[in-house]
Structure 1
Amino acid sequence: MTQQSCFHCGEPVPDNSPYQVTIKQEPQPLCCPGCEAVSNAIVHGGLESYYKFRTELPPRPELSEEELAELQIYDTPELLQEFVSQNDQGIAETTLAIDGITCAACAWLIEHQIDNLEGVERTAVNLSAQRATLRWDINKLPFSKLLAEFKSIGYGAQPWQADEQQQKLQREQKTAIRRLIVAAIGSMQAMMFGVALEAGMLENYMQQEFILLFMWMSFLVTTPVVLYSAWPFFSSAARELRHKRLSMDVPVSLAIGLGYAASVWALVFGVGELHFYAIAMFTFFLLFGRYIEMRTRHKIGSGGNALHDLIPQAALLLDADDNEEYVPSRQLRPGDRILVKPGHTLPVDGVILSGHSSVNEATMTGEYLPVSCHPGHQVLAGTQNIDSPLIVEVEKIGQEVRLASIARLSDRALAEKPRIETLANQVSQYFVAAILLVSLTVFSVWLFLDPSRAFWITLSVLVVTCPCALALATPTALAVANATLGRQGVLITRGHVLEGLAKATHIIFDKTGTLTEGRLELKEVRWLANAEDPRREQAAALAAALETQSEHPIARAFTASREEGVKATDIQAVTGQGLTGVIANQTYRLGRADFVAPDAELLPPAEEGQWLLLAADDGPLCWFRLSDQLRPDTRDMLEELHRLGMQAELLSGDQEGAVASIAQELGIENYRASATPEMKLARLRELQAEGHQVIMVGDGVNDVPVLAGAQVSIAMGDATDLAKTSADTLLLSSRLIRIPQAIRKARKTRMTIAQNLSISLGYNLMALPAAAMGLIPPWMAALGMTSSSLLVVFNALRLKDKGNEQRLSEVSSRPASANPQQEAKA
C-alpha cells in the first residue's frame, strides 16, 4: 500500500492520521495538527483557490554551504564531549534549546519529523521549557546534521547545557514541586475524611468499624505529607537549633510535629480529637507560599546564567590569507582575528579592525538603541552586530571578558546582606522567641480554662504567628530592585547600595569622563620654548609616548599622535598631578603646571578647554588644549536630581577655566577646580561630618580614594579598572539619567520594605489575639499565614520596571535602518 502524502506540505502521512481538510467537499489527508490549522485557516479565509492554482508543493528550505559549515563546528570532539553524552556503541543523548516553538502542534511536528530520521530512537519536546531531548545513533547521523534538520523545518536548535548553579536551581524546583504535589493530594484526601468525621456525618450513616477505617485513612494520607513534604521544615529547624539560633521553621516544625503526634495519640488511645486534615492543609499552604517565593527568587536571579546563554559557542576565525574557518570560541586567543557577520553575537571582547556597523549593546548597558561602531572601537562579548560585517581583533576571552566580570560582581552583591536585611533577620529571631513564650502562656491559660482545647488553640497560635512574611519582606524587595536596575544598566555590586541611595542627600561628580563624554580631542598646541627647537614638530608625539600606559580619557586624546620612533621609559603617574617619563635620555613631565614646572609659576590660558603643560629638564615646552563635550542627558539628569531634593557638587582636577565654564553651563553652584584626590576626600569628609549621605560619581584613578570613602560610589562603565573595582555601582549605560532613576527606585524599595514589614507585623498583631481566644482553627491559621506571605511577595514584585513600555518608547525613535536583525547564534 502506497503511503499518502500530506495535501498541504507533501510530507508522508502517518498511518491512521486523524488530521484532514475538506476541499470541494472532499476530505484531504494531512500529516500533523500544524498543517491542519494552516489549511483550515486558508479554507475558512476564502482562499481555497490557493490549492487550485498552486503549481508545486511549498519547497523545503535548504541550508547554504556556509550555514552547514557553521553547524559542523559542533562535530568537533571538544564540543561533542561538552554537549553530547554517548556510550561505546555510539548511542548519543543531548538536550537542545529550540527557538520558534509556539504551541503543541509545533512540538508534535518536531517529534514526528525528527523521529523519522535514520538513527533517531527518541525525540521528546518540552513545550513549556522549549527544549528537546534526543537519543540517536551518532554513527548514522552526525550532530551537525541533526541540528541542520531542525533548521530545515523552521526551528532554530542549539545545544543546551545548564551551568552548575542552574542545575542546582532545577533540582530544587523539581523537589519542591514533588513535595507540593504530595501535600496537595494528602491534604485533599485528609480533608475529605476529616471534615466528614468532625461534622458527624458518618456517625449517622455508617457503623463504628467504617468510622474507624476513615480515621486510619486520614492517618495514612497525612503521614507522607508530614514525613516527606514537611521534612525541609524539620531539617532546617534542627540545623538552626544546633547552632543555637531561632528561625521561623522552629514554630512551624513544632506546629506540624506536635499536631501530628497529638492526632496519632488520639487515634491510638481514643483520647482527644483528630486534626490530621488541619496538619496536612497547613503544610500544603505553607509549601505553596514557599514555592511561589522560590519561583520568584529563581526568576529574579536567572540573570546569573547570562554568560552561558549570550556567548556563542563558535566563531569565524580568519587566517593570514583571510580564509574563514569556524572554530570553537574557547579556542580563540588574544591577537586572533574573527569575522562577525550581521545578526551574529560577539564571542569575545575586542577592537574593530575594519568595517562600519551598528552594535546592539542592550545586554550590557540596558540601552536598546544600537551604537555606531567603526575601526578602533571597543566591542564586548554578548553584544550583537546588526548592519555590516566586522573584523575584530580578539583582546579578552573566557572569564576575562566584561560579561564574566559583571556576573562575578552581581554574585558579590547578592552575597552581601544590607544592614536592613540583617536587622530584619535579627528581629525575626527575637520574634520567634516571643512567639514561643506567648504560645506557652496561651497553652497554660487554656489548660486551666478548657484542657480539651488547649493544645489546638496553642497550635493555631504557633501557625498564625509564623514570621514567614517578616522573613520575606526585605530580601524579596531587594532582589526585585537589584534585578530591575540591572536590566536598566545600573549594576549594583555591593549589598548596601539601595539603602545608601535611598538616604542620600548630596552627590559629587567628577568632570572628565563623567559629566562629559570623556572623548577628549587635541585642539591646539601652543608652543612656549624656542621656535627653532626641533622638538616642536614632535610635541604631540612626546605627550603621546608619556600617555601610552595610561587608561585616563586624556590619554585617548593623544592616541592619533603616536609615532613609531618616540618611546618613553620609566613612566610614573602621580595621581591627580600628571606623568613623568624618559624619552631619548631626557626626562619629560606632562600635566598640571604646578607639577610640571613648579618654579615657572605658569597659569593656564583663559580660553575654553583643558590645558596641559609639557616640560623637559630645560624648562616648559608647550601647552596642549584639550576639548570635551557634555553627555547628552547631563542637564536632564541634574534637573531630576534637583526634583529629588539632591544637592549636586562638581569636584575636578582640571583647571579653573574649564571647570567654571561647565559648572556655569549646568547651573552647579558648588564646584572646585584643581582638586587633588586629597582635597576631594576632605570635602567628602566635611559633608559626612555635617550628617549628609553622599554619592560619589567618578571614572578615573584619581577618584578611587573618594569612591572608597563615599556612602555610595558610582563608576562609569568605561572607567578605569581600579575605579570600577572600588565602586559600589557600575553605570554600564552611558546615560547619566539612570542615576536619578536608581535613586527613585531605591526610595521606592525602602517604602516597599516598610510596607512589607507593616503588613507582616500588622497581620501578626491582629491574628494573635484571635488565635489565642480560640477563634481561628489551625487550617484557617495556615491559610492566613500563607496569604500574608504571598501578599508580601506580590507587593515586592511591584518594583519591577515596565520593560516593554520602556523598550517601545526608546525603540520608537530608532532609525528604520538600525532595526536589529534576528540574532543567529553560532
Structure 2
Amino acid sequence: MGSKSQKQCFHCTLPVSPDNEVVSAIKGESRSFCCIGCKSVCEAIYAAGLDGFYRRMYDGTALAPPPELPRELALYDLDEVQEEFVDTLGETREIHLLVEGIHCAACVWLIEHSLLGLAGVKQARVNLSGRRLHVVWDNSRLKLSDIIRRLGRIGYAAVPYDPDAAEDRLKRENRHLLYRMGFAGFTMMNLLWISIALYSGADKGEFRTLFQWVGFALATPTLLYSGYPFFKGAWSGIRHLHLGMDVPIAIGAGITYLYSIYVMLSGSVTGEVYYDTVVNFIFVILVGRYLEAISKRQAVASTQRLLDLQPRVATLLSDAGEKVVPIRSIKQGDRVLIRPGERIPTDGVVLEGQSAVDEAMLTGESVPVQKSPQMTVSAGTINGHGALQVEVTGLLKDSALGRIIRLVEEAQASKAPIQCVADRIVPWFVAITIGLATATFFWWLNSDFETALMAATAVLIITCPCAFGLATPMSIAVATGLGARHGILIRNGDVLERFSSIDHFVFDKTGTLTEGAMRVTVIQTGSSQWSPGDPVNDEIRELLGKLLAVEQFSEHPVAAALTACAESAGWKRQQLQVKGFVNRPGQGVSAIVEGVVVVIGNAAWMRANGVAAEPAFQALAAHLDQTGTGSLYCAVNGIEYALMGVEDPLRKDAAGLVADLKAAGMQLTMLSGDRQRTAEAIAARLGGMPVIAEVLPEQKDQVIDSLQKNEHRVAMVGDGVNDAPALVRADVGIALGSGTDVSIASADIVLMSSELDKVRLASALSRRTLRTIRQNIGISIAYNLIMVPLAMSAFVTPLVAAISMPISSLLVIGNAARIRTLFKGGK
C-alpha cells in the first residue's frame, strides 16, 4: 500500500511519482499531474469553462490515461467531460444543449431538420421557450463535437446544458441584445432631429446633402451592429435553403438602406432618403425581441423555480469534521448534515436526529412529515426544527427532484400534434411573405417608386410567423411548469391534447378512491366475535398469530392491516415457524405454520384450495358486503375457521371528484378486486357508477382495451404500481400518489400527492391549454389577415409595421401566461 501522503494526479487520481511530477498553475492554484497529457487535458477543460467536471469528484475509480490533447470541440467527445451532462455513457446517448440564437419557430424547424439529416442522430427536439435542444445520437457513428459543428455551420452556437451556466448565458445573450437595442435607440433619437429638419424644409435648401450624409453616417453603423443578427440569420437561412423570419427583415432593411444611398449619391431632388426608417424599425424590432425574451422567461418561470430548489452546496461529514462542499462533489454513501431550516441537498436515509420535513414541493401537502432514523428524505424538501445526519442514496440527477425536473424539461421540449402542423407551415409562411411583398412592389411601381418600396418593406416586416410558431410551445411550457409546481407532472405536450378529449374515466378502487390503508373491523370465528378495542381472548389471539405468520411475507395493504392488528395483540414477526408461502395476487395467500396449513383470502381462493364454505359465516359476509366492507376468510387444515371484515376508508375528496366529473359529462367506471356486492356498495357511497369487480391486476388493461374498442377515449387513474399495464394501455394514464417511483415510467400524468382533486385540476389544465393554443393560433391568423392587406394597400408605414410585428408575439406570450390563473380560481 502506498503512503497516505503520496500525491495524486489532479486529473486521473493515479499516484504521482516524484521523478515524473508535472506541476501547473490551474486558476491560481498549484496542481500536480502524473504526466504532460493529464496537464494538457486539464488545462483544455478549464479553458472551455467545463471545470464543473472536477467539482463532481470521483466515484473511487481512476480515469484512464488521457488521450492526445484534443483540439477545440473535440474536448466534448471525452467521456470524462460528457459524464457531466450525459446520463448513460453507452452507444446511444442523449444530451440537452443550450443553443444561442433561437428566436422563432423557423429556427426550430431549421435546427431539427438539419440535425436529423446527420447519420447517427436518432432524435432532435428544440424547446423554443427555453432555447434548449434535446439530442439522442449513436455515439459509435457520430461524435458530439460533429453535432455542435453542424449547429455552428447553420448559425447557432451550442454548449452542453448546465443549469448553473444556462442562466448566465441567457443573461449574457439578453445583455448583448440590450446593447444593440441601446445603440439603435441612441442613433434613432439623433436621426429624429435630422428627419425633423428635412421634413421642415431643409430638403429643399443647401443643407439637403449635408443632412443626408449625416443620416448615412448614423444609419450605417446601426445597420452593421444592431442589424447584424438579422443579416446573419438571413444569410444562414438562404445558404441552407430555409426561409426564416430574419430573411424578410434583412431584405426590407437592406433595400431601404440601399435606395437611400442611391438617392443621396445621385443627387436626385425628387427622391427621399429613409435612413430614419431603417434605424427606427431595427430599433423597434429589437425592443420587441427583448420584450419577448423577458416575457418567455417570466412565462416559464415555474420550471426555473424547480431548478432553484436544488441546493448548490452541502455540509459533508467526515472523520476530519464538517466541510461545506459543492453539491456535485457529493457521492453515494457520503454523510451530510442538514441543519434546521436548510433544504435537503440529496435523497438519502436518516442516520441520526429527528425533525419534521416540509415535503410540499413533492406532495403538495403542507403538513410537515416527521422523520427519524431509517426514514427517507428527498432533495429539495425543507428541514424543520431538528438537525439530521443523512446518508446519501441518490445523487442530484437521480433524486426525486431531479426526475421531476427532467420530466418537466422533456414535456416542454415535446410537441403536440397541433404544433407539428404549425412547424410545417412556418417556412411556407415566410415564402408567402416575400411573394406578397414582391407583388406589392410591382403593383405600386407604376404609380410611385417610393410608395412601392415603402409598401413592400412594410409587408416584409409586418407579416409575422413568430406568433404562429410560439402559439403551442409557450402554452405547453407554461402548463407543464405550472402543473409541476402544483404536484401535477405531465410527460409531454401530446398528453395535454389527448387529455382534453377524454370522455371516460376508469378508477382503480384500492389506493385511489380509497386511502389504501386497510384496517380490520371485525373477526368472527365459530364461537366468538371480536372488534378493535375489545379484549382479545385466547382463540382470537391464537388466530392472530397464524395471520401474522403468513401475512408478514405479503406486501398487500390487507396484509399490512392484519399484521398491524396481530402486533397490537402482542405477536412479533418471525415468532412462529413458517414454510411453503404461496401468494396469488387478487386471491390470497397460504403457508404452513408450525405444521398447520393456513389459507387466507377471498371465497374463490378458498374453493381453489378445496375449502368448503362454512354456513355460519354467510350472514356476516352478506352484511359486510352491504356496507362496502371486504370479507376475508381464513382456513386451517382445510376447514373454514374465521371470517374477517377489512375496510379501506374512502378518501375525503373522492365523492366530490365523482360528482364534478359527472357534472362535466364524463362516464365513470370503477375497477376492483373485491366481490361485486362490496364494490357496488362503495360505488353507491361515492354517488354511483358502473362497477367491474373481482378483476385481477393483469386483467385491468383488458378492461381498458374493451372500452377503447367501443370508441371511448379512456383515462385510467391508478396507484402507478400494480396498475402499470392499464396505465400504459389507456389513452391517458394518471398515477396517484407514487410519482417518485415506477409510475413515472408508466403514466402520462403523475400526481405527486394523494389529493384526488388534482385529477380534476389536471383535466381542467389540459382543456385550458388546448383552448389557449387555439386562441393563440387565432390571434396570429387574425393579426396577419388584418395587417397584411393594410400594408399592401400602403396604409401602414415600415415603422408602424415594426411596432405591430412584436405586438402579436407579445399577445401570444401574454395569453399563454394566463394559464397560470387556472390555479388561482380563474376559469
Q: Secondary structure at the match of 1:721?
A: coil
Q: CA deviation at 1:400?
A: 2.6
Q: Secondary structure at the match of 2:716?
A: strand
Aligned residue in 2 for 1:258: 255
Change (3 A) 1:441 1:265: same
Of 607, 610, 625 in structure 2, the residue corresponding to residue 600 of structure 1 is 610
Aligned residue in 1 for 2:517: 519
Q: Secondary structure at the match of 2:649?
A: coil
CA distance in 2, matches of 1:487, 1:407: 11
Aligned residue in 1 for 2:107: none
CA distance in 1, matches of 2:582, 2:255: 72
Change (3 A) 1:276 1:577: farther
Of 539, 543, 546 in structure 1, the residue corresponding to residue 553 of structure 2 is 546
Q: Secondary structure at the match of 1:297?
A: helix
Aligned residue in 2 for 1:415: 413
Return the letter of the residue paired with 1:213: W
Change (3 A) 1:336 1:788: closer
CA distance in 2, matches of 1:787, 1:194: 26
Change (3 A) 1:481 1:255: same
Q: CA deviation at 1:544?
A: 4.1
**Is the contact made by 2:256 and 2:278 (CA closer than 8 Å) also made in structure 1?**
yes
Q: CA deviation at 1:406?
A: 0.8
Change (3 A) 1:623 1:412: farther
Of 611, 627, 645 in structure 1, the residue corresponding to residue 665 of structure 2 is 645
Return the letter of the residue paired with 1:427: I
Of 766, 770, 776 in structure 2, the residue corresponding to residue 750 of structure 1 is 770
CA distance in 2, matches of 1:571, 1:299: 58
Aligned residue in 1 for 2:467: 469
Change (3 A) 1:416 1:617: farther
Structure 1 position 631 matched with structure 2 position 651: yes
Change (3 A) 1:331 1:472: closer
Q: CA deviation at 1:624?
A: 6.2
Return the letter of the residue paired with 1:688: Q
**Is the contact made by 1:637 and 1:740 (CA closer than 8 Å) also made in structure 2?**
yes
Structure 1 position 248 matched with structure 2 position 245: yes
CA distance in 2, matches of 1:609, 1:326: 55
CA distance in 1, matches of 2:679, 2:282: 65
Change (3 A) 1:457 1:704: same
**Is the contact made by 2:408 and 2:481 (CA closer than 8 Å) also made in structure 1?**
no
Of 730, 748, 751 in structure 2, the residue corresponding to residue 728 of structure 1 is 748
Aligned residue in 2 for 1:142: none
**Is the contact made by 1:354 and 1:390 (CA closer than 8 Å) also made in structure 2?**
yes
Q: CA deviation at 1:275?
A: 2.3
Q: CA deviation at 1:479?
A: 1.8
Q: CA deviation at 1:439?
A: 2.5
What's the CA shift string for 1:259-308, capped at 9, x where partnerless? 33443444444565432322322222222222222223223445357456
Change (3 A) 1:246 1:622: farther
Return the letter of the residue paired with 2:680: A
Return the letter of the residue paired with 1:207: F
Q: CA deviation at 1:513?
A: 1.5
**Is the contact made by 1:485 and 1:491 (CA closer than 8 Å) also made in structure 2?**
yes
CA distance in 2, matches of 1:490, 1:611: 35
Change (3 A) 1:363 1:720: closer
**Is the contact made by 2:606 and 2:612 (CA closer than 8 Å) also made in structure 1?**
no
Of 718, 726, 733 in structure 2, the residue corresponding to residue 698 of structure 1 is 718
Q: CA deviation at 1:781?
A: 1.0
Aligned residue in 2 for 1:291: 290
Return the letter of the residue paired with 1:496: D
Q: Secondary structure at the match of 1:438?
A: helix
Return the letter of the residue paired with 2:725: P
Return the letter of the residue paired with 1:432: V
Return the letter of the residue paired with 2:728: A
Change (3 A) 1:385 1:544: farther
**Is the contact made by 2:720 and 2:747 (CA closer than 8 Å) also made in structure 1?**
no
Aligned residue in 1 for 2:28: 87
Structure 1 position 424 matched with structure 2 position 422: yes
Return the letter of the residue paired with 1:278: T
Q: Unaligned 5+ residue runs, structure 2? A: 1-9, 12-25, 32-161, 527-537
Cα RMSD between the aligned structures? 4.3
**Is the contact made by 1:649 and 1:668 (CA closer than 8 Å) also made in structure 2?**
no
CA distance in 2, matches of 1:621, 1:571: 19
Q: Secondary structure at the match of 2:493?
A: coil
Q: How does 1:490-529 map onto structure 2 within 5 Å?
A: 490-521=488-519
CA distance in 1, matches of 2:551, 2:333: 23
Q: Secondary structure at the match of 2:404?
A: helix
Could you tell which deviates more after superposition, 279-288 or 762-771? 279-288
Q: Secondary structure at the match of 1:649?
A: strand
Structure 1 length-normalised TM: 0.68
Return the letter of the residue paired with 2:28: N
Q: Secondary structure at the match of 2:379?
A: coil
Q: CA deviation at 1:412?
A: 1.4
Aligned residue in 1 for 2:684: 664
Q: CA deviation at 1:626?
A: 3.8
Return the letter of the residue paired with 2:170: L
Q: Secondary structure at the match of 1:713?
A: strand
**Is the contact made by 1:593 and 1:602 (CA closer than 8 Å) also made in structure 2?**
no
Change (3 A) 1:225 1:335: closer
Q: CA deviation at 1:373?
A: 5.5
Structure 1 position 274 matched with structure 2 position 294: no
CA distance in 1, matches of 2:469, 2:695: 46
Q: CA deviation at 1:422?
A: 1.7
Q: Secondary structure at the match of 2:795?
A: coil
Q: CA deviation at 1:236?
A: 5.9
Q: Secondary structure at the match of 1:163?
A: helix
Q: CA deviation at 1:663?
A: 0.9
Q: CA deviation at 1:698?
A: 0.8
Q: CA deviation at 1:730?
A: 1.2
Q: How does 1:151-162 map onto structure 2 within 5 Å?
A: none
**Is the contact made by 1:614 and 1:622 (CA closer than 8 Å) also made in structure 2?**
yes
Structure 1 position 435 matched with structure 2 position 445: no
Change (3 A) 1:276 1:212: closer
CA distance in 2, matches of 1:690, 1:354: 56
Q: CA deviation at 1:214?
A: 2.2
Change (3 A) 1:383 1:601: same
Aligned residue in 1 for 2:817: 797
Q: CA deviation at 1:218?
A: 3.9
CA distance in 2, matches of 1:596, 1:174: 74
**Is the contact made by 1:315 and 1:347 (CA closer than 8 Å) also made in structure 2?**
no
**Is the contact made by 1:656 and 1:674 (CA closer than 8 Å) also made in structure 2?**
yes
CA distance in 2, matches of 1:193, 1:422: 48
Change (3 A) 1:497 1:202: same
What's the CA shift string for 1:523-554, capped at 9, x where partnerless? 566779xx99999564344444432xx5x655
**Is the contact made by 1:699 and 1:719 (CA closer than 8 Å) also made in structure 2?**
no
**Is the contact made by 2:550 and 2:593 (CA closer than 8 Å) also made in structure 1?**
no
Q: Secondary structure at the match of 1:519?
A: coil
Return the letter of the residue paired with 1:512: T
Change (3 A) 1:86 1:327: same
Aligned residue in 1 for 2:360: 362
Return the letter of the residue paired with 2:410: R
What's the CA shift string for 1:71-100, capped at 9, x where partnerless? xxxxxx99xxxxxx951499xxxxxxxxxx
**Is the contact made by 1:546 and 1:590 (CA closer than 8 Å) also made in structure 2?**
no
Q: CA deviation at 1:772?
A: 1.0
Change (3 A) 1:430 1:581: farther
Of 675, 679, 683 in structure 2, the residue corresponding to residue 655 of structure 1 is 675
Aligned residue in 2 for 1:228: 228
Identity %: 32
Change (3 A) 1:516 1:778: same
**Is the contact made by 1:362 and 1:383 (CA closer than 8 Å) also made in structure 2?**
yes
Aligned residue in 2 for 1:124: none
Aligned residue in 2 for 1:779: 799
Structure 2 length-normalised TM: 0.68
CA distance in 2, matches of 1:580, 1:382: 43
